[in-house]
Amino acid sequence: MKNTTLCYIEKDGKYLMLHRVKKKDDLNRGMFIGVGGKFEEGETPEECLLREVKEETGLTLTDYKFRAIVTFVSDRWENEYMHLYSAYDFKGSLKECTEGDLQWVEKDAVENLPMFLGDKVFLRLIAKKKTPYFSLKLCYEGTTLKEALLDGRALDIAKI
């Protein structure tokens, strides 16, 4: 299982979203996601988070919070443990990203963007203040979300 980080940076009621349009053979091609990436040897989740955000955006996070561990199981791609974060403050200026186009998107408009259903699930969960930390398992067949487990229990996605 590979380890990755993903961060949703918040500012003025918006999330910084990465529209993945520049990399070839990208499983997220055409989708909108947060920023993050794969761990390098010996990195902690926080070290990976800070490095990936800096590389992809030019920003240095100054206030962030660990929100969840998301386990992706797929019949098509390598299984993954994703360490999910929210960030609330940063310094620096946005730079061009080699993986896609960075855009500030109103939080209430994010769900209308092209995204995997599982991403919408964990975005809904991090938006709930009463869900400070969670474990989410997302099982995919191809690009179809077949099962979601929240803290080990079956999740009715329609009720989030």
Domains annotated on the chain, with CATH: 2-159 (3.90.79.10)
**Mean pLDDT for the chain overall:** 93
Q: Report d(CA 145, CA 94) in Å as an integer.
A: 33
Q: Report d(CA 10, CA 131) in Å as an integer.
A: 17
pLDDT value of position 22? 83
Q: Report d(CA 124, CA 108) in Å as an integer.
A: 10
Q: What is the largest CA-CA distance in the chain?
A: 41
**pTM for the complete prediction?**
0.93
Read off the pLDDT of each residue in 81-110 and give the average, rounded to a whole number: 96
pLDDT of 50 above 80: yes
Read off the pLDDT of each residue in 61-69 and give the average, rounded to a whole number: 97
Q: Which two tokens stand for residue 78?
A: 């390598």
Read off the pLDDT of each residue in 47-65 and give the average, rounded to a whole number: 97
Read off the pLDDT of each residue in 42-65 and give the average, rounded to a whole number: 97
Q: Which two tokens stand for residue 131?
A: 């869900």
pLDDT of 158 above 70: yes
Rg from Cα positions in the chain:
15
Q: Report d(CA 82, CA 68) in Å as an integer.
A: 8
Q: Report d(CA 2, CA 77) in Å as an integer.
A: 11
pLDDT value of position 160? 67
Amino acid at site 24 = K
Q: Which two tokens stand for residue 139?
A: 């099982």
pLDDT value of position 24? 76
Task: Residue 88: count other Cβ atoms within 10 Å of its Cβ.
Answer: 12
Read off the pLDDT of each residue in 130-139 and give the average, rounded to a whole number: 88
pLDDT value of position 82? 98
Q: Report d(CA 69, CA 91) in Å as an integer.
A: 26
Read off the pLDDT of each residue in 94-98 and give the average, rounded to a whole number: 94
